[in-house]
Amino acid sequence: MVDTGDLKSPPRKGVRVQIPSPASMKEKEIDGGICAARGFRAGGIWCGIKAASHKPDLALLVSEYPCTAAAVFTTNQVQAASILVTKEHLKHGTIRALIANSGNANACTGETGLNDARRMAALVAGAFTLPEHEVAVASTGVIGVPLPLAALEAGMDSLVRSLRADAAGSDAALEAIMTTDTRKKTRAVALELGGVPVHLGAIVKGSGMIHPNMATMLAFITTDAGIKAPLLDSALRQAVSRSFNRLVIDGDTSTNDMVLIMANGAAKNKTITALDADYAIFVQALEQLCISLVMDMAKDGEGATKMLSVTVDKAADEKSAEILARAVAASSLVKTAIFGSDANWGRVLCALGYAGVAFNPDRVAVSFASAAGVVQVCQQGSLFPFSEAEAKKVLSEECIGIHITVGDGNGTATVWGCDLSYDYIKINGDYRS
């Protein structure tokens, strides 16, 4: 996975660099999804894995050029065959293609499942005359059910023919990886590195079984930037740590989670080989791209009626702030209060208290915010007099923010999530049927 080349000082995993100010950024949103980056084609079809629904269930992404690649995977000890195969293939250093299916997780399927995941890679490798290790594999769907490999094999010709180098191709691939998602989640941005235009694009599926680390999801990111593999890995880990790893829907972490980024260098920028200004710009763009996708996922949480963002500031450090914010965003009692538009700020303090981070409860302040306004409900750890009617109005909006101040430190972090509604149980109560 790591090609150090002429890189003199490869970064440690998780290394952070100084980010340029927003005024210095030339990043803008564009169309195209994973095909916004030059040299990438994508497509998707129905091949019969989702036999009953006839919804698209097989996706393909191919680069015209070899790609440096990096990935972050689920921390669940039970890992799908696709995760194990892709981890092995990434060790070779170059990825040219990705095949992904929905409707079947190919997890807890033993040696047969591993062979099926390898066969998926072999089918793509054969179609494009690639080594099998240059093909990544991803799966999502029901756990513990054998993959209907014959349906997948029969659909390969149609899948290859579906490839397009435009937004339609990206959308087709996205639709083919969606399960309980109710909306498409895709983003792309254009920026400059050393005066050269480069692009980042992404598609994401994820609606339930989402809880750090990582959030349950499949995320595929492309870029035509040239960047050495160790730096791409470091950039992805920093972006994931401040985005996908700060998303909480329901407290479950799945067996198939994967964030994969492929960089093919087609933009012909000066290859990023050091922790310089171009690297900082690239990391910032990648991080903001991922945060935008996280917010889209929070809005599409299973059964969700509201998106929730929880920001903690003045904590001892960023990690402490993140842990505190995550406890609040994950609290079922907080989530149900948000669903009911109930300004039950005591549940917020309760969640802070069991987060496992030291703070002074007597210094806590809490406010709720939305497009309807801001209402403070707690100051110095006690009730701050407020209008229940005004709070109800604020909490009845679609996007709700909880702002929490816990002390006088420098740590701040935001975690995203959603409310918990009756529909969450309806969706998951009969998921297999």
Quick: pLDDT tens for 352-410. Answer: 999 999 999 999 999 999 999 999 999 999 999 999 999 999 999 999 999 999 998 99
Q: Give domain status of residue 2, yes or no.
A: no
Residues 265 and 142 in one domain: yes
Q: Give domain status of residue 11, yes or no.
A: no
Q: Give domain status of residue 204, yes or no.
A: yes
Residues 292 and 328 in one domain: no
- Catalytic: which of 74, 94, 109, 216? 216
Residues 332 and 293 in one domain: no
CATH number at residue 219: 3.60.70.12
Residues 195 and 125 in one domain: yes
Which pLDDT score, from 0 to 100, does residue 254 have? 63
Q: Give domain status of residue 1, yes or no.
A: no
Q: Give domain status of residue 128, yes or no.
A: yes
Q: Give domain status of residue 13, yes or no.
A: no
Residues 99 and 156 in one domain: yes
Is the previous residue joined to 214 through a cis bond, with omega within 30 degrees of 0? yes
Residues 175 and 151 in one domain: yes
Residues 284 and 334 in one domain: no
Which pLDDT score, from 0 to 100, does residue 170 have? 98
Residues 351 and 423 in one domain: yes
Q: What total number of domains does the chain contain?
A: 2
Residues 86 and 195 in one domain: yes
Residues 87 and 141 in one domain: yes
216 part of the active site: yes
Residue at which a domain ends, from 250, 282, 299: 299
Residues 99 and 238 in one domain: yes
CATH number at residue 332: 3.10.20.340
Which pLDDT score, from 0 to 100, does residue 211 have? 47
Residue at which a domain ends, from 237, 266, 299: 299
Which pLDDT score, from 0 to 100, does residue 302 have? 59
- Give the range of the structural domain holding residue 355, as residue numbers without chain letter: 307-429
Q: Give domain status of residue 12, yes or no.
A: no
In order along the chain (433 residues), what is the average pLDDT of each group of 10 residues? 30 38 62 98 97 93 97 87 96 96 94 97 98 97 93 97 98 93 91 97 74 66 98 96 80 75 98 97 96 84 78 96 94 92 96 95 97 97 97 95 95 90 56 45
Residue at which a domain ends, from 299, 321, 336: 299
Residues 180 and 72 in one domain: yes
